[in-house]
Amino acid sequence: MLLLQIDYQNIFLKDLDFSLAIEIGIRTIIMFILVLVFLRSTGKKGVRQLSIFEVAIIIALGSAAGDPMFNGEFAIVPSLIVFLFILGTYRLITYLAAKSQTIENLLEGEPMYIIEDGMFTLKEDGDANFAKDEFFAEMRAQNIEHMGQVRTAILESNGQVSFLFYPVDAHKPGLPIYPKPFSKRSEEILNEGDYACTHCAKIEHLSVSSTCNRCGKKEWVLAIDTKREN
């Protein structure tokens, strides 16, 4: 019979003794300060919105900083060399991105139109090209009640969404984005009225069930035309 021998000493402590614990403490303080100095020297003011490029830097930095914190086999100076090369590369790429729009778009991504004229933009195959639930939440955070209030929305390269609104007193029905009205969506049309396509947000006056003539889908929800509070 095979007996599973689990060496808890090895899992939890390995070769840890008091002097190694002290060494780990000192290594961690040094590496933490180096990481702070490094992040300050990149010139970033904060980390509220990170681009993909900056996330890559943080990952590279984190893995170079981690090992020498707790592993006695790793010295600090090699990590420092890694830091300097990351910083050099960061500076070089930032410089190139400032010179060339193409390189900047490759690194940071391009701003993308999500809403035009109160409707979702479509790819050639008629598919809206992003996660709608997430975007509805973003719109609700901006006090938007339905798509008819929004003229244009752009997904910026840092993940934020910029909105342009119709005038507050504009009377334009739109796709409701709050969960309760949105949950009443259906392929059936029971009463004649203005309906919004749940896929692309096109508004059509319907009395019978039909497909959206813009995106080809067939799910509708009663449009609303409440005015935006300002």
- Under rule CB under 5 A, residue 197 binds Zn ion: yes
Please report how close the Cβ of residue 228 comes to Zn ion at its closest, in angstroms. Answer: 23
User: From the list 35, 61, 69, 212, which residue makes contact with Zn ion (rule: CB under 5 A)?
Assistant: 212
| Interface stretch with Zn ion, choices 5-13, 49-57, 70-78, 195-203 (CB under 5 A) | 195-203
Q: Which stretch binds Zn ion (CB under 5 A): 46-54, 154-162, 177-185, 196-204?
A: 196-204
How many angstroms separate the Cα of 75 from the Cα of each of 7, 20, 64, 69, 224?
28, 14, 11, 9, 64
Is 61 or 221 the residue whose CB approaches Zn ion more closely? Answer: 221
Binding range to Zn ion, per CB under 5 A, among 31-39, 83-91, 129-137, 206-214 = 206-214
Q: Does 151 bind Zn ion (CB under 5 A)?
A: no
Judged by beta carbon, residue 150 or residue 212, the one nearer Zn ion is 212
| Nearest-angstrom CA–CA distance, 192 and 123 | 30
Task: Kindly identify the residues of this chain, within the stretch 90-129, that bind Zn ion according to CB under 5 A.
Answer: none
Q: Which of 151, 214, 218, 227 binds Zn ion (CB under 5 A)?
A: 214
Contact between residue 157 and residue 111 where contact means Cβ atoms under 8 Å apart: yes
Distance CA 172, CA 117 (A): 10
With beta carbons less than 8 A apart as the criterion, state whether 145 and 228 touch: yes
Q: Which is nearer to Zn ion, 66 or 181 (CB)?
A: 181
Closest distance of CB 202 from Zn ion, Å: 5
52-91 binders of Zn ion (CB under 5 A): none
**Which residue of 57, 196, 200, 224 would you call a contact of Zn ion, by CB under 5 A?**
200
CB of 196 to Zn ion, least distance (A): 9
Give helix 101-108 / helix 76-99 axis angle, nearest 10°: 130
Nearer to Zn ion, 166 or 195 (CB): 195
Using alpha carbons, list the distances in angstroms from residue 198 to 129, 175, 177, 186, 204.
14, 7, 10, 9, 12
Residue 54 CA to residue 37 CA, distance in Å, equals 16
Rounded CA gap, 14 and 10, in Å?
4
Closest contact distance (angstroms) between CB of 79 and Zn ion is 54
196 binds Zn ion (CB under 5 A): no
Binding residues for Zn ion (CB under 5 A): 197, 199-200, 202, 212, 214-215
